[in-house]
Every structure is written in C-alpha cells, then in structure tokens.
Amino acid sequence: MKDYIEERAIGIAGYIIDHNATVRQTAKAFGISKSTVHKDVTERLMQVNPSLAKQARKVLDINKSERHIRGGLATREKYLHQH
C-alpha cells in the first residue's frame, strides 16, 4: 500500500474519533467519496493500525445505530418548514 494512502487512512480515523463524525461528514472534510472513507477505515486501516481501526469502527457503529433517528428528525424539520 502506498504511503499517502496509509497516512490518509490514519488521518480519517483520527478525524472520525476526534469529531465523532459520520462517514458523510468525513468524506466532505477530506474531499473524497463515502466509499473511500469506508474502505480506508474498515480494510486499509486494519493492516496499518488495528487498534485505531477498532476505535474508529466503534464510532461508526454508534453513528449507524443512530442514523434512523437523525433521518426522522431531518424529515420532520423539512415538513415543519414547508407549512
């Protein structure tokens, strides 16, 4: 794996952990796709730094478990502002 990819994966994981960020927020901050963020955290980072990968994965799992709530709130806000 290239050095810049390893550095990016470590940077992404650090951002996710520090900011409690979602995949979308992280992708936007780094200017890359959601699939790249996901692949960096789930696959590439495990080869480079397994403990950091587990920490980042924990944050992403929490975000995933809460996303249906955030989606419902966003929909509610959308319809409250239409009327």
Does position 82 have pLDDT exceeding 80, yes or no? Answer: yes
Check: CB of residue 44 under 8 Å from CB of residue 9: yes
Say which DSSP state 44 is in: I
What torsion do the CA atoms of 49, 53, 54, 57 make, to the nearest 10 degrees?
A: 180
Say what the pLDDT of residue 83 is. 67
The pLDDT tens digits for 18-65 are 999 999 999 999 999 999 999 999 999 999 999 999 999 999 999 888
